[in-house]
Amino acid sequence: MSRYAIGVDFGSESGRAVLVDVADGTQLATAVYPYSNGVIDERLPLPDRDVTLPPDWALQDPEDYVRTFQATVPAVLRDSGVDPSDVIGLGIDFTACTMLPVTADGTPLALLPELRANPHAWVKLWKHHAAQPEADRINETASRLGEGWLPKYGGKISSEWFFSKALQILEEAPDVYARADRLIEAADWVVWRLTGVETRNPTTAGYKAMWSKREGFPERAYFEALDPRLADVVDQKMSREIAVMGDRAGGLTDEAAAWTGLRPGTAVAVANVDAHVAVPASTVIEAGRMVAIMGTSTCHMVLAPDEHLVPGICGYVEDGILPGFFGYEAGQSCVGDHFAWFVEHAVPERYTNEARERGIDIHALLQEHAARLTPGESGLLALDWWNGNRSVLVDVELGGLLIGATLATTAPEIYRALVEATAYGTRVIIEALETNGVPVNEVIAAGGLADKSPLIMQIYADVTGRPFKLSGSDQAPALGSAMFGAVAAGPEAGGFASIEDASRAMARLKDLVYEPNPEATRVYDVLFREYVRLHDYFGRGENNVMKTLRGLRASARDDGA
C-alpha cells in the first residue's frame, strides 16, 4: 500500500505544496499559491489607510500563509488523486528569520483592528533590513560583554535575525512590543495554526536566535544590557522548550483539516527552514558535501562531526541541520538578484529584442553569448556586493564593484563577470570553511539557478575546482519538508524512524555532474587571487570608499526628503 507525505515550502513571494510518494520520493503533484500581498515594502495593504514604509522594510501578511494551505494542499490532493487517508504526514519549511508578534492564542497583532495600521504589527520578512542599528548594538554589546556565542556566528549577527527585529519593535513601537504575548518565527506560527500547539523549532532558534543545545539562549544579563525592557524577552514572549528536529509537533486540528482536505490528526512535523530541509533532500547526510541553495541569494550548508570557529560564516549549530552533526551555514546575499538587477538595469534593447524574437528568456540569451567567452576573455572582474556581503565579511554596507571595462566591453561580458564574481564569493566561503577545519569536497546545488543554467554551474565548478552536482528534485525544500512529515509520522504509520532513513529512500541526485576543467581553473586561480585582494582591500577597512559613498547617498536623500 502506498503512503504519501506533503511538504509545504513558504518562500518570499509564494507558498508551494508538493505531494510525494514516501517509498521513493516521487513527486505526484505540486501547487503554488502566490501571496496575495506578496512582499510588502512600499505601503501596507489597507483599503482605507495609506501607511507608507521607510526604506529597507519588508513585511508580509500572515493570512497569506493560511491561504497557502487552503489553496495548495487541496490542489495537490485533487491533482494526484491520492486518498487523504494515505497521507501520513506533513512538514513545512520557511524563510528565516521571518517573525511576527502574536497574542497568547496565536492571533497575529496585524489582525487586530487597533494595530493593523502599525507596520510593526505585521510579519517581518527575512529581508527586512531596517533593524541594522539594532544589530549593530547587539554586536557591540556582545563584543563588550565577551559573549561566548558571538564567535559561533562568525563574530557578527545580522540585521535579519530574530533579536534585531524584536529590538526594533521594542524601540520603535513599544506598544506593539507590550501587546505581543509571543514573538515567534512564522515557521513555528504556521505549525501552531495547523496543530493548535505552540512549538519552537531548533533550527531557527539555533541559527537566528543565538540558542544552542548546550548553552540555551544568551543570558538575561545580556538582554538587560541591551535594553532593560528586553531582559525577560525569552521567558515572557518566547520559550526555552525547543523541540527536537524531526519530531511530531502535533496532529492537524479539525479546522486545519478542513482547510487542507487532510484527515484530522495527520502528523505535522516540527517546523524547519527552507535551506536546511533541502540538505537531506539533496542526499546529504554526511560530512564534506556542501549543499548550495542557489536562488535570489545563496545559502551554503555543510555538516562536520566536530566544532570549529569559522570567521564570517552565518553560524554553526549542533544538530542544527541533521542530528549528530554540527551544521555550518554561510550565505551570499546577491546571486540571482544580481543577474536580475543586471537584466533590468543594464541590458540594451538589442539583446531584449533578440530574446523576444527567438522566444527565449533573456538570461538564457545572455548565457548563450557569455558561454562563447573563455575564462579571462572579458577582461573584467567584479565584487558581487550589489546587496552587501553576508559571508565572510558580514557587512550590508558594502557596494558593488566592476573593474576592467573598455569601450569594447559588451553586456554578455559583464553578465559573465557578475556570474564569476558570485562564484569567487562561493570560493571564499569554501576556503574559509576548509581553512578552519570543515572540509568541502563537492557541492550539491539546488534551487532555480542550479537547474536553469549549465553555464553558471560550469563556472562555479571551474572557479572552485570542485565537482558541482545537482539535487534530484527541483523542489528540494518542499521535498525535504515532506520527508520530515514522513519522519513525524514514524515507521509505524509507514514513515521513517529518522531523517537519514528518509533521505536514503526519498532523495536522489540528477545524473549530470559539472566537473571542473583544469585549464579553466588555472585561469580562474589567477582571477581569484585578484578578487581576494580587492575583497580584502575594500571589505576589511583598508579603503572604506563604499561606506563613504553610502553615507553620501543617505545624506543626499535626507536633504532631498
Report if residue 341 touches a second copy, rule: CB under 8 A: yes
Q: Report, in Å, the least distance between residue 78 CB and a second copy.
A: 38
Report if residue 375 touches a second copy, rule: CB under 8 A: yes
Report if residue 560 touches a second copy, rule: CB under 8 A: yes
Residue 373 and residue 351: Cα distance in Å, rounded?
A: 17
Candidate residues 272, 378, 426, 464; the one interacting with a second copy per rule CB under 8 A: 378
Candidate residues 344, 357, 492, 511; the one interacting with a second copy per rule CB under 8 A: 344
Residue 152 and residue 271: Cα distance in Å, rounded?
A: 23
Candidate residues 43, 240, 358, 533; the one interacting with a second copy per rule CB under 8 A: 533
Helices (H), ranges, 465-517: 476-489, 499-506
| Amino acid identity for residue 361 in this structure | D
Candidate residues 278, 284, 411, 419; the one interacting with a second copy per rule CB under 8 A: 411
Candidate residues 447, 471, 527, 528; the one interacting with a second copy per rule CB under 8 A: 527
- Number of residues in contact with a second copy, rule: CB under 8 A? 57
| Amino acid identity for residue 117 in this structure | A
φ and ψ of 60, to 5 deg: -140, 170
Residue 210 CB neighbours (<10 A)? 25
422, 332 in Cβ contact below 8 A? yes
Report if residue 402 touches a second copy, rule: CB under 8 A: yes
Task: Determine the Cα angle at 465 with ends 463 and 470, to 5°.
Answer: 90
Q: Residue for cell digits 553615507?
A: 551
Report if residue 410 touches a second copy, rule: CB under 8 A: yes
Contacts of 438 (CB under 8 A, 6+ apart): 302, 304, 308, 310, 328
30, 108 in Cβ contact below 8 A? no
Report if residue 455 touches a second copy, rule: CB under 8 A: no
Candidate residues 76, 267, 381, 430; the one interacting with a second copy per rule CB under 8 A: 381
Cell of 129: 533590513
Q: Report, in Å, the least distance between residue 309 CB and a second copy.
A: 31
- Residue 488 vs 546, nearer CB to a second copy: 546
Q: Report, in Å, the least distance between residue 417 CB and a second copy.
A: 10
Report if residue 428 touches a second copy, rule: CB under 8 A: no
- Residue 263 vs 550, nearer CB to a second copy: 550
- Residue 184 vs 382, nearer CB to a second copy: 382
Candidate residues 347, 449, 478, 507; the one interacting with a second copy per rule CB under 8 A: 347
Report if residue 518 touches a second copy, rule: CB under 8 A: no
Sheet holding 182-185, edge to edge: 59-60, 123-124, 99-102, 182-185
- Residue 308 vs 550, nearer CB to a second copy: 550
Contacts of 25 (CB under 8 A, 6+ apart): 472, 473, 479, 483, 505, 506, 507, 508
Report if residue 58 touches a second copy, rule: CB under 8 A: no
Cα 413 versus chain centre, distance:
29
The two most distant CA atoms of the chain are separated, in Å, by 69
316, 310 in Cβ contact below 8 A? yes
Report if residue 377 touches a second copy, rule: CB under 8 A: yes
Q: What does the binding site for a second copy look like in residue numbers (CB under 8 A)?
A: 334, 337-338, 341, 344-349, 352-353, 373-381, 386-387, 399-407, 409-411, 414, 523, 526-527, 530, 533-534, 537-538, 543, 545-546, 548-550, 552-553, 555-557, 559-560
